Chains A and B, each alone.
Chain A
Amino acid sequence: MAPTRRPGLRGSGEPDNSGAMTSEDLSILIVDEDRVRATIIEDGLREAGHQRVTVINSTQEVARRIVEIAPDVVVIDLENPDRDRLEHFFTLSKALQRPVAMFVDRSDASAIGAAIEAGVSAYVVDGLRKDRVKSILDMAVLRFNAYSRLQRELDEARTALEDRKLIDRAKAILIKQRQLSEADAYNLLRKTAMNQNRRIVDIAQSLVTAAGLLEP
């Protein structure tokens, strides 16, 4: 069953008059198992005026729906272990008969590098004008990077919180066992860390572990 070919979807041998269409007419498919990230990218594309954006979280669903969606551009997450299978679906599907991973011409090597660095790849229907796709990919790369940054910050915040709890527990042990004030307990941890060239949290961890061993 061949999907209906929309105007503007042409093979490379035909004249390219796709510029006559506005960017909103492109069908964009986002395949990402990370629902939150997929939503962030989808929002970005919608804000940029793209109306036809579909998000799919599972490979099986791609197989079922690719003909119906007939994407002009597919954005996928590089960490997806199913990427070889997805790529095969794109090749088989009539809609993306000749999938082109991002841009084929060498002058775009840095753009491709940036995308892969960010963990994103895109497939583009052959014959689509490069400048129409570039803004979509740029948006995906920006949002992928922003999401990674967000996750990193979240991880750091989580670690910082856990570190503080650990230091508090170490201080409590010192206050109880050595009758120190809270400020002195902290200073002792800090001085020991400096002397041993270790982080305060590592000293706190050792102290908490040691105290645990001595408990009855």
Chain B
Amino acid sequence: MTDLRITAGFLPLLDSLLLVIAREKGLAAAQGIDLALVRETSWANIRDRVAVGHFDLAHMLGPMPIAANLGLSPIAVPIVAPMTLGLGGNAITVSTGLWRRMLDAGAPGNIDPGPAGAALRAVVATGGPRLRFAVTHPHSGHNYELRYWLAASGIAPDRDVDIAILPPPLMADALAAGTVDGYCVGEPWNSVGVASGAGRIVTVKARIWANSPDKVLGAGERWSAQNPEALAALLRALYAASLWCSDPANHAEAAAILGAPAYLDRSSELLLRGLSGRLELIRGESARIPDFFVPQAQSATFPWVTHALWYYSQMVRWGDVPHTTDNARRAANSYRPDLYRSAIAPFGAALPIGDRKILETGTFFDGVPFDPDQLDAYLAAQRA
């Protein structure tokens, strides 16, 4: 059997893990896939190169396929997300200077988003120069999580603070230089900020929104319709990679593979922090966060329609797109659990019964539940 060649783009982030492991541990080859990985420098390049067919698919921000299908991207080519590439993986890091002010305002010194948000609100209320935060892309889990955390803490993202776009490799330097006061980004860039002495991790995605997706596998709709077998084989390879990565005994090897020059080009010690959930919050102070990044458990690779709709609710909330029945339908159809189910079936794993679930009280740190079938009511409550 000849190998099916698939070219995939990725950005050097911890959650490119499943693609890298699928290739390097021979799991793609075992499915008859010759997987070529190409490192990119921006999400815009990832989007454009998928759109013109240079990449068959790519490591993408969770809201990116939704934005493409809603016509928010400069090149409007339909994109589908048949798989999530793990849960969690992000954190919010602030400068040590802002952290001291937060401590003075009563931050308890753990990673609880509630009290940290209350302390930040108190800092904002004292006036002074507007605080400036950075995220990697407007249509990113980072942007929406940061805004959710701020808003639920009583800070209006567009009125009380500035939110800028900055590429991850520049974030730690910007924090040290005082150009930004904090940022929300995927690993290893929080650990880079901590290791440089410039920052303190104040909270993590897993605490703001438990079991939440960050990156997805994004493929051109046309490519995935024309290459169903190649896509299914790759999904199986990625699923096998998620099983391999879920074994703590493999973490050290995974970190070494991911740290190679062709991938993240970072020390494996630094990558191991996010992988194992043993993060240094500030120099000399560590915390154990077992669910910091989850590659397999909790149906971590299942593309829930609920998750697509929650991202859509935030796009509406912050004015990216008006809410219409048609837009909601496009958003929901961006994630494709049907493709996932048919590909993964041979594993005999227990898959979720439905494609939607209610995100119960306790999923979000402020306790507000999200029912994808009550979207209008949720949007109305957000406006209030």
CA distance A82 to B164 in the complex (A): 12
B75 touching A85, Cβ below 8 Å: no
Q: Kindly list chain B residues whose C-beta atoms are within 8 Å of the C-beta of A95.
A: none
For residue B165, which residues in chain A have a CB less than 8 angstroms away from its CB? 84-85, 88
Which chain A residues lie closer than 8 Å to B100 at the CB level? none
- Residues of chain A within 8 A (CB-CB) of B53 are 109, 113
Q: Give the segment of B37-45, B204-212, B274-282, B341-349 that binds chain A.
A: B37-45
A170 beta carbon closer than 8 Å to chain B: no
Q: Which residues of the partner chain A approach B166 to less than 8 Å between Cβ atoms?
A: 85
Give me the interface of A with B, judged by CB distance under 8 Å. 78-85, 87-88, 91, 99-102, 104, 109, 112-113, 116-117, 121, 123
Chain B residue at minimal CB-CB distance from A100? B74
How far, in whole Å, are A123 and B45 apart by their CA atoms in the complex? 13
Q: Which residues of B contact A85 (CB under 8 A)?
A: 164-167
The reply to whether A101 and B48 contact each other, CB–CB distance below 8 Å, is yes
Residue of A at shortest CB range from B167? A81
Q: How far is the CA of A16 from the CA of B80 in the complex (A)?
A: 34
Whether B74 and A83, one on each chain, are in contact in the complex, defined by CB atoms closer than 8 angstroms, is: no
15 A–B contacts, CB within 8 A, in A order: A81-B170, A83-B45, A84-B165, A87-B44, A88-B138, A101-B44, A101-B48, A101-B75, A102-B74, A102-B75, A104-B75, A112-B48, A112-B51, A116-B52, A121-B44
Chain A residues with CB under 8 A of B336:
none
Q: Which chain B residue lies CB-closest to A109?
A: B52
- Report if A78-B45 is in contact (Cβ < 8 Å); known contacts: A84-B136, A85-B165, A113-B54: yes
- 19 more contacts with CB within 8 A, not counting A84-B42, A87-B74, A117-B54, are A78-B48, A80-B42, A81-B167, A81-B170, A82-B170, A83-B45, A84-B43, A84-B44, A84-B165, A100-B74, A101-B44, A102-B75, A109-B53, A112-B51, A112-B52, A113-B52, A113-B54, A116-B54, A121-B48
Which chain B residue has the least Cβ–Cβ distance from A60?
B179
When C-beta atoms are compared, the residue in chain B nearest to A83 turns out to be: B42
Query: B215 contacts the other chain (Cβ, under 8 Å)?
Result: no
**Least distance between A200 CB and chain B CB atoms (Å):** 30
Q: Which of A79, A91, A123 meets B41, CB within 8 Å? A: A79
Asked if B154 is at the interface (CB within 8 A of a chain A CB), the reply is: no
- Docked complex Cα distance between A88 and B140 (Å): 13
- Chain B, 57-80, CB within 8 A of any chain A CB: 74-76
Q: List residues of chain B with CB within 8 A of the CB of A81.
A: 41-42, 167, 169-170
Residues of B within 8 A of A116 (CB): 48-49, 52, 54
8 closest A-B pairs (Cβ-Cβ)?
A101-B74, A83-B42, A88-B165, A81-B41, A85-B165, A113-B52, A83-B44, A81-B167
A10 to B203, CA, bound (A): 45
CB-based nearest A residue for B76? A104
Q: Which residues of the partner chain B approach A100 to less than 8 Å between Cβ atoms?
A: 74
Partner of A84, one of B75, B76, B167: B167
CA distance A116 to B52 in the complex (A): 8
Identify which of B51, B74, B169 gathers the most chain A CB atoms within 10 Å of its CB: B74
* Chain A positions within 8 Å of B236 at CB level: none
- In the assembled complex, which residues on chain B have CB atoms less than 8 Å from the CB atom of A101? 44, 48, 74-75
Is B137 an interface position by the 8 A CB rule?
yes
Q: Which residue of B lies closest to A124 (CB)?
A: B74
User: Whose C-beta in chain B lies nearest to the C-beta of A90?
Assistant: B74
CA distance in complex: A26, B164 (Å): 29
In the complex, A90 Cα to B170 Cα: how many Å?
A: 20
Residues 21 to 49 of chain B near chain A (Cβ within 8 Å) = 41-45, 48-49
Q: Which B residues lie within 8 Å of A117 (CB)? A: 54
Nearest Cβ in chain A — how far from B219, in angstroms?
17
Tell me, rounded to whole Å, the shortest Cβ–Cβ distance linking A84 to chain B.
Answer: 5
Within 164-179 of B, Cβ neighbours of A (below 8 Å) are at 164-167, 169-170
- Which residues of B sit under 8 angstroms from A88, Cβ to Cβ? 137-138, 165
Which of A79, A109, A123 sits near B74, CB closer than 8 Å? A123
